[in-house]
Amino acid sequence: MTLAVLLPFVMAAVCGLLAGTLGRRSGYLAALGFVPALLLAVPLAGNSVEVGSTPQTQLTNWVPELGLNFVFRGDGFSLLFAVLIGVIGALASLYSVAYLSERERFGRFYPYLLLFGGSMLGLVLSDNLVALFAFWEMTSVTSFLLIGLWHTRSEARDGAIKAFLVSALGGLGLLAAVALLSVAGGSTNLSELDLAAVRASPMFVPALLLTLLAAFTKSAQLPFHLWLPTAMEAPTPVSAFLHSATMVKAGVVLVAKFGLIFGGSALWGGIIVPLGLATMFWGSWRALKQTDLKALLAFSTVSQLGLLMALYGLADPEGRFAATTHLLNHAAFKAALFFVVGIIDHETGTRETFRLSGLRRKLPLTFVVALLATLSMAGLPPLGGFISKELFYEAMLHAGPGFIAVAVIGSALTLAYCARLIRIFFGGFEVPLDDGGQPLKPAIHEAGPGLLLPPALLAGAALLFGVWPASAEWLARRAGAALAFAEYDGHLLLWHGVTPALLLTVLTWGLAALLVWQAARVYFFQVHLESPLSSNRGYRALLGGLDTFSSRLIAGTQGLALPDQLRITLAAAGLMGGYAVWRAPQVFQPFEALPLSTLPIAVLLVAGALGVLLSRNRLTAVVLTGLTGFGSAVAFLSMRAPDLALTQLLIEAVTVILFLLVFRYLPGFRSLPRGRVRQVIDVGLAGAAGIGTTLLILASIRFLSPPISPYYLENAYKAGGGKNVVNVILVDFRGFDTLGEIMVVAMVALAVGSLVRLGRRGEARSERDTAPATQDLLDLQKRRP
């Protein structure tokens, strides 16, 4: 399993390096990268996923102290999903070889695709929550790169940014949820969480809501569905991989896996099921309106994800079983359809439904594939989609009448847009024309095997799941132990007698027939119906608002005059420090036992400080500063630190000299008025800073942990060979620190030197500076008669 996650990353590097020499053929290498994931089918088919057997786990330590490890746990559901990713990833890689033009930058395309595949495999296989979050974010980043692959187009950039922002928002939610769960459950591994403790903890509801935020953003549920349609700017094979089978299902995976933790809560189903069904309805409604085939598929994906969410959200074995079945079906038919749309785009040069008709005459094989996949999407027998839709109805019948109504209407709309999609193959063939009435492509012919094989395989799978339901059931059962529906004895059948679900299906077909019959009117009605709420408008407004807000904030707080800037900074620091002081217990020691020697120290320190505040003369100010400096040197002596006192005296002398040097060039020590309000603020700030520091020191006098100094006292002579412990610490124990200090002083010296040289007034400020020699020459020239 570790290999399955690792190899795509390795192959990404290989593909990136070899892209120049291999060109489009590096796609075969990329497909190789998904082979270990395909090989996971072996344990999946084996006994390791049966009920009662422990799933195999592979552990790679990362930061064990923090509970950060790569734990890959191969339970049935993870393995099933990993194999699915492997299959679609390999097919997408092979398809791209035929699909992309020779001029595509393969040095980017395949590495991105593989990086994405690896992150996705890590995401589904990871049992460690922190690693799961890391992989989750990696899928966000890589999908950003893939959607923005053709970054010269502004739509691609926009779509990539939108997708990234929305899923990154969810990613932050997931991080918080993971933190809450691991604190509450006492482990960072999903399978080791103490479920009872999590359910009892007050963090349960926040963690639940944050998990849902992550799942909804990733799986494009209302109101976060806005990014999926614009993500269609990615190359079609990418759409087939990311937006049908993998990335968008990450949210569904999350809901499926965490459903075991949160499933018992009424809130969980109460949020997911309505939102999922609403998404299903809205997605299919919007899909019916689209004229671009890819956009139609995108909204269709939104709708199908809503259906999956609703099923997993039911959090009962029946729902999970139905959802897992439908997940398989959906992956098969949706990826196939994306591939088909890619073929149509590739061969005719357009994806607009109204420009295309009668394609079955020119693209007969594509037509067969498209027909199978579309029938499955529409939920018509004898395909897999029909079976899982029956299960969906069964599950919804238990949920309530309102849900049933939405489900039926959503399915009817689904049927209607499937009819729209398939209509491009019927009617008389016409050459697609561009707006100028010119044919887009001179001759239209059937696609080659490289383009046809991947969708044909997937469509074959969709047919197999329908004609021989036991195959789909066998696959879905593999996930039973992991998702706790192993005890559920539902079976997949094409004909299961006249049940309420079948009646609902008939009703659906009737509605859909009505929609198709009145297609033109429905379309007209849809186009003229403006939605009052648009996610996209909200997104734009939010971004614009953020822009405005940050500009104003920056303009209001940055680039001010230095004192004002400092006031803001100090006030913020004061608030934080004040909170710390408020929380800390104070330690007051009485003033009684003060040695007399402290009196001159106090006098010196305070006199210097007050004197500088009151002085009107710069020389006085510097001398008084020196007074405080000498005061602190005496204080060091009284604190039993002779070295410090010496250093302080030395530095004090040098500082005073430096000040005097600089005074040669500086103006008088005038006192500029601050203004009354600022004066008050400053006095307040200064007072708060002083009192805060005092309290902070008093609070920190307690020993928070045993001191480490005895070590130095014991080893100074043994290890450092010196009797002055402070010096030994500086030059032996912390030698590099002191070296760094010397470097700092040297750099300061350089900076001071160059600044002072710059500062000679009225001279050129570059290497064209007149050097002394030149000056001499000039003098010579002047002296010449």
Sign of CA dihedral 771, 772, 774, 779: positive
Q: How far is the CB of 631 from another protein (least distance, A)?
A: 8
**42 contacts another protein (rule: CB under 8 A):** no
Tokens, residue 695: 């309290």
Q: How far is the CB of 545 from another protein (least distance, A)?
A: 21
393 with 410: CB under 8 angstroms? Answer: no
Question: Judged by CB under 8 A, which of 10, 542, 580, 602 binds another protein?
Answer: 602
Compare residues 437 and 590 and give the one whose CB is closer to another protein. 590
Compare residues 200 and 697 and give the one whose CB is closer to another protein. 697
Compare residues 63 and 562 and give the one whose CB is closer to another protein. 562
Question: Judged by CB under 8 A, which of 438, 589, 773, 784 binds another protein?
Answer: 589
122 with 5: CB under 8 angstroms? Answer: yes
Compare residues 10 and 739 and give the one whose CB is closer to another protein. 739
Give the binding range for another protein (CB under 8 A) out of 43-51, 245-253, 543-551, 588-596.
Answer: 588-596
Compare residues 433 and 686 and give the one whose CB is closer to another protein. 686
Compare residues 108 and 618 and give the one whose CB is closer to another protein. 618
Tokens, residue 740: 């760094």
Give the binding range for another protein (CB under 8 A) out of 27-35, 305-313, 315-323, 565-573.
Answer: 565-573
Give the binding range for another protein (CB under 8 A) out of 178-186, 407-415, 534-542, 589-597.
Answer: 589-597
Tokens, residue 124: 């589904």
Whole-number Å distance between alpha carbons of 72 and 125 = 5
Q: How far is the CB of 622 from another protein (least distance, A)?
A: 8
Question: Judged by CB under 8 A, which of 613, 680, 739, 771 binds another protein?
Answer: 613
Q: How far is the CB of 575 from another protein (least distance, A)?
A: 15
Q: How far is the CB of 190 from another protein (least distance, A)?
A: 44
Tokens, residue 425: 């193959």
Residues 737-766 touching another protein, rule: CB under 8 A, are 737-738, 741, 744-745, 748, 751-752, 755-756, 758-759, 761-765
Whole-number Å distance between alpha carbons of 89 and 74 = 19
Q: How far is the CB of 549 from another protein (least distance, A)?
A: 17
Size, binding site for another protein by CB under 8 A: 112
Cα angle 725, 730, 735; round to 5 = 135
Whole-number Å distance between alpha carbons of 480 and 687 = 67
Q: How far is the CB of 227 from another protein (least distance, A)?
A: 34
Residues 99-138 touching another protein, rule: CB under 8 A, are none
**What is the pattern of x (binds another protein, CB under 8 A) and - over residues 681-710?**
-xx-xxx-xxxxxxx-xx-xx-x---xxx-
Query: How big is the chain by its Cα radius of gyration, in Å?
Result: 36
Question: Judged by CB under 8 A, which of 265, 317, 618, 715 binds another protein?
Answer: 618
Compare residues 387 and 729 and give the one whose CB is closer to another protein. 729
Taking the CB of residue 158, how many other CB atoms lie within 10 A of it? 14
184 with 158: CB under 8 angstroms? Answer: no
Q: How far is the CB of 312 from another protein (least distance, A)?
A: 51
Q: How far is the CB of 63 from another protein (least distance, A)?
A: 29
Question: Judged by CB under 8 A, which of 53, 526, 598, 617 binds another protein?
Answer: 598
- Which of 656, 690, 652 is closest to 644 using CA atoms? 652
In 176-215, which positions are buried (b, 16+ CB within 10 angstroms) versus exposed (e)? bbbbbbbebbebbbbbebeeeebeebebbeebbbbbbbbb
Compare residues 10 and 743 and give the one whose CB is closer to another protein. 743
- Which of 503, 504, 502, 476 is closest to 490 using CA atoms? 476
**774 contacts another protein (rule: CB under 8 A):** yes
DSSP classification of residue 73 = E
Compare residues 528 and 723 and give the one whose CB is closer to another protein. 723
Question: Judged by CB under 8 A, which of 444, 457, 621, 634 binds another protein?
Answer: 621
**656 contacts another protein (rule: CB under 8 A):** no
Compare residues 520 and 755 and give the one whose CB is closer to another protein. 755
Residues 628-647 touching another protein, rule: CB under 8 A, are 628-629, 632, 635-636, 639-644, 647
**658 contacts another protein (rule: CB under 8 A):** yes
357 with 429: CB under 8 angstroms? Answer: yes
Compare residues 52 and 559 and give the one whose CB is closer to another protein. 559
Residues 499-558 touching another protein, rule: CB under 8 A, are 554-555, 558
Cα angle 424, 427, 429; round to 5 = 80
Residue type, 730: L
- Which of 324, 281, 301, 149 is closest to 218 using CA atoms? 301
At 62 the three-state DSSP class reads strand
At 559 the three-state DSSP class reads coil
Q: How far is the CB of 546 from another protein (least distance, A)?
A: 20
- Backbone φ and ψ for 69, nearest 5 degrees, come out as -140, 155
Compare residues 361 and 734 and give the one whose CB is closer to another protein. 734
433 forms beta bridges with: 439
**729 contacts another protein (rule: CB under 8 A):** yes
At 128 the three-state DSSP class reads strand
Whole-number Å distance between alpha carbons of 449 and 431 = 23
- Report the first-to-last Cα separation within the chain, whole angstroms: 93
337 with 458: CB under 8 angstroms? Answer: no
